[in-house]
Amino acid sequence: MKRLIDCNKGEKVKVLKLDANYDLKQRLISFGIMKNAQIQVLEQAPRKKTIEVKVGKMRIALRAEEAGLIEVETI
Amino acid sequence: MNEDIKTCPIIANHIKVALVGQPNVGKSMLINSVSNAHLHVGNFSGVTVDKTEVLFDYKEYHFTVVDLPGTYAFTDYTIEERVTRDYLCAENYDIIINVIDSTNLEKNLQLTAELFTMSKKMVIALNMNDEAQKEGIEVNAEYMSELLNIPCIKVSAAQKTGIEELINTVVTVHEKPKQEPKLIFSEAVEEETENIVSYLTKHKYQARNSYRNIAMNLLKENKRTYAKLHDEPIWTELQPILIESSKHIELHHDTDDIKEAFAEEYASFNRGIVAEVVKQKVVQKEVKTLTEKIDSILIHPIYGIPIFLFLMWGLFQLTFVLGAVPMDWINSFFGWLGDAVGATITNDDMHSLIVDGLISGVGAVVLFTPNIIILFVGIALLESTGYMSRVAFLLDGFFHKFGLHGQSFIPLVTGFGCSIPAYMSARILKNDRDRLLTLFIISFMSCGARLPVYVLFAGAFFSEAIAGNVLFIIYISGAMLGLIAAKVLKMTAFKGADEPFVMEMPKYRLPSVKLIWHTVLSKTLLYLKKAGTFIAGAAMLIWFLSNYPHNQELQKSYALKIEQAKTATQKTKLNDKLANINLENSYLGRVGKFSEPIFQPLGLDWKMAVALEAGIAAKEVVVSTLGVLYSLGDSVNETNNSLKEIIRKNIPFASAVAFIVVIMIYLPCFAASIVFTREAGGIKYFFYMFAFTSIAAYVMAFLAYHITLLLGY
Ligand SMILES: Nc1nc2c(ncn2[C@@H]2O[C@H](COP(=O)(O)OP(=O)(O)OP(=O)(O)O)[C@@H](O)[C@H]2O)c(=O)[nH]1
Ligand SMILES: [Mg+2]
């Protein structure tokens, strides 16, 4: 099972599922990170501690822990 | 309920508008462009953290516009978002202006859909129209108004276009009865809503809200609506219907979370709207936007942090080199002023009060205005370009090691300007523990008012060529101490799990000169105003406390000795001695002498101790007190010596280091302490902070003093 954190820079993926707890899930959804959303990985901080992704027209910074909760598939 | 109040003729033409929207869409800027307000504007999420009311008149109407913190959704995520939610649910207002970023309609409409459930009159402001046009995005506002049944007006807060139309629309909507917005859901949801609505109709349920709205709220498991209906007799029958409905909807969306199901409902409705009203002029796909190109450099995994450090270093270098030029002018101006004004005053005490008290006290603070301005420009650029969020991104990994949240960077940087807004902006942190931790660390970020002390001492002990580097080192070590303190606190007082880090990265924007000018000007004026009022008063108080009581006996005996002295140097020496004895016997001298034993292990004499104590009132008072104390003790050989030189002569280097360390760490000023106490949520936190900062300052200064001595300075 692939997760957002496993993706390489520049890769485009589709969200399958959010494994986050209630609060975080709400926040991710309000940022447009929800089932079927398309995400592109833009930048990665050293050792993938933090990543920058693009959802729609918005750029979002996520920490590795959070990116590990998002199940994705390559498109 | 407020209908009958409106018969009063005075407020009959009053319209109260709540400005709501997602963060960073230009709400505050929109208010600034319709009124004369100068609300804080910045290019990152979470600039506004508290509600602010702005009043203005337009035609025959009195407007009250309330600027609210931006919110992504009504989920109570952070304190500032709670401010907005509570305001919208509990306060009285006539109409909502929902501000939307036209270049990112789909995401912004998420909140719009939620706002519909407030059942208030509404107007949509499609802001950033200028940017949309540049990016080739065309929004059909008329069609959108029709689809949503809510007037949508294209505006640009930056270019001030469409503002008048927006206000006129607000007036029209206010005069007309409320229109029901259109929000169409999937068949499953529509069907269940209809079910509930017909049930409510059948039982003639009494409500102010529309049945459709109530049904929607029930399906979305809105706590308030639930609580309200729970006590009604119809609840027993309604509940099973609701359970069935929820099951149906969840099944339809293949999830077990009704909120997620609704999020998808909204999202697909919004996608529908966007598909209808937005025309994106075809641009070649796969081309990186400008923001992405800049990001690939500024948040580069290897170069990102060095670039940031270089920019910081450059800022402090500028502070020193560029600031030195006007400082010379200001210095000579106050020297001249002292002489000119002094010459007109015959009374000795008055002369001393005005020249040694007022003018040298205020002069010592005003002197540093150029440095402060440069610092403010730096902070304004950081805030308005969009770089702020990038640094938060870069530093998150590093901060995380010290138990801080990446977003803590925003309040911490604000703290370099002034601690008060920094304490407020800590509200953007969701978790109370993270927020408290950040509040405690903010005082380690040297505020603008402490800059004068650093510039003074760096200039006194180092050549101009390296003083800028020294300044940079002082700031960086302050920040490093803050991080270490954070680690200590995290391991002891604020243990707990880490909070998620999810943050929007705004696009880069070129700030307008006008915006920077206004931000810097207003902060600078505030600094000068403080110098002219509070600091002037404090300087005079310090002068009084350091001049009285007069010891007549001593005065006389010295007068005699001075008369009998043979050479001029002897006279000068005696005069100096008298001045110093007088100073030591003054009220302030006694306080200083009393507390001297505490400060002695740090190598600080009583004058420095008094300056530190006075600095608790306001940090600017530190230099003004030094100015007054040293100009008094030095009264005889007042040969145009600047404070800088007096300090170089009178203070040993190791003591100066210890002094700077105390300034870096110890208690923030009085006003900031009050805000800290309020934001932290109790007086007990003030005492914690008092103990924490005092002990830390003492220990660190002690170490710094002795290490410097050991090194042979
Ligand atoms: N080009 C352009 N930029 C704008 C416009 N309106 C606002 N901005 C910029 O957008 C950024 C955000 O503006 P703010 O007014 O601080 O946004 P806000 O909605 O109050 O943000 P929060 O207080 O964080 O919720 C700033 O950098 C503004 O300069 C506009 O109409 N056109
Ligand atoms: Mg704002």
pLDDT tens string B181-230: 888 888 888 888 888 888 888 888 887 777 888 888 888 887 778 888 88
Mean pLDDT of B624-646: 68
B125 touches ligand 1 (CB under 6 Å): no
In chain A, domain spans: 4-74
The three-class DSSP label of residue B502 is strand
Minimal-distance CA residue to ligand 1 atom 17: B26
- With tokens 């799990």, the residue in question is B497
The model's pTM is 0.85
Q: How far apart are CA B481 and CA B240, in angstroms?
A: 59
pLDDT tens readout for residues B135-174? 889 999 999 999 999 999 999 999 999 999 999 999 999 9
Q: How much is the pLDDT for B637?
A: 43
Q: How far is the CA of B82 from the centre of ligand 2 (A)?
A: 15
Q: How far apart are CA B418 and CA B166, in angstroms?
A: 36
Q: Which residue has the higher pLDDT, B14 or B79?
A: B14
Q: Which of B13-27, B368-382, B411-425, B628-642 has the lowest mean pLDDT?
A: B628-642
Using most ligand atoms within 8 A of CB, pick from B35, B41, B163, B516 the residue to mutate for ligand 1.
B41
Query: In this model, does residue B2 exceed pLDDT 50?
Result: no
Confidence of residue B284 (pLDDT cuts 50, 70, 90): low
β-sheet bridge partners, residue B502: A62
CB contact under 8 A, A58 and B107: yes
Query: What's the ipTM?
Result: 0.93
Pick the CATH number of A4-74 from 2.30.30.90, 3.30.230.70, 1.10.150.130, 3.40.50.2000: 2.30.30.90
For chain B, the residues whose C-beta falls within 8 A of a C-beta of chain A are: 72-73, 75, 77, 103-104, 106-107, 110-111, 255, 257, 259-260, 263-264, 267, 291-292, 295-296, 299-302, 304, 389, 392-394, 396-397, 400, 406, 430, 498, 500-505, 507
Q: How far is the CA of B156 from the centre of ligand 1 (A)?
A: 10
DSSP string for residues in B589-613: HHHHHHHHHHHGGGT--HHHHHHHH
DSSP symbol at B382: H
Q: Is the CB of residue B252 less than 8 Å from the CB of residue B261?
A: yes
Q: How much is the pLDDT for B36?
A: 83
Pick the CATH number of B5-175 from 3.40.50.300, 1.10.1740.10, 3.30.1330.10, 3.30.360.10: 3.40.50.300
Interface check A62 vs B, CB under 8 A: yes
Percent of chain B residues past pLDDT 70, beyond the cut: 96
> Position B376: which residue type?
F
- Beta strand segments in B150-288, E: 152-154, 278-280
Query: In this model, does residue B628 exceed pLDDT 60?
Result: yes
Q: Which of B94-98, B298-302, B460-464, B633-637 has the lowest mean pLDDT?
A: B633-637
3-state secondary structure labels for all residues of B632-685: HHCCCCCCCCCHHHHHHHHCCHHHHHHHHHHHHHCCCCHHHHHHHHHHHCCHHH
Pick the CATH number of B187-280 from 1.10.3470, 1.10.10, 1.10.287, 1.20.120: 1.10.287
Interface check A50 vs B, CB under 8 A: yes
In chain B, domain spans: 5-175, 187-280, 305-549+586-710
